[in-house]
Structure 1
């Protein structure tokens, strides 16, 4: 599925348009996804998920991301045993999966 940036331009929520944000660039290597047209999300969250918190080999990159973007974006860390569940209009971080 290809996501196009213009789909997310009229976003009613504060943070859901991730097309202009490159906060994941420290962790994600763009060259590994050459067909990805946009880093935009689906517009379901009002925060920025930051996965792999406290998990090797990502610990240093996650910390760098927090230092660089933590004041600018509402980052929410998740470790590799957590998930974000979305049900209707509610969002919850669940653990130990």
Structure 2
């Protein structure tokens, strides 16, 4: 039986563990949101990372962070500009010319 269920039922086994409260998830959720915010602002290393940022923005993953949509859009724009200015692959015709 899960700890919280044992504690709510008043079973003696529930007393063997730290009190489980609903708020115990808050630190985990806060860490998750902070990680998402950091990922959205970290410069992308591949175009796949940029695509992830665009999908995360569309899904409003930043909604419960302190990031605005404009700030995330600006980060994505910087990534796209960087990749446009620093292409990593060139077509064969460009290399041979």
Q: Which category of TM-score, normalised to the shorter sequence, fits these structures?
A: under 0.3
More helix by percentage: 2
| Greater Cα radius of gyration, structure 1 or 2 | 2
TM-score by length of 1: 0.26
Greater strand proportion? 1
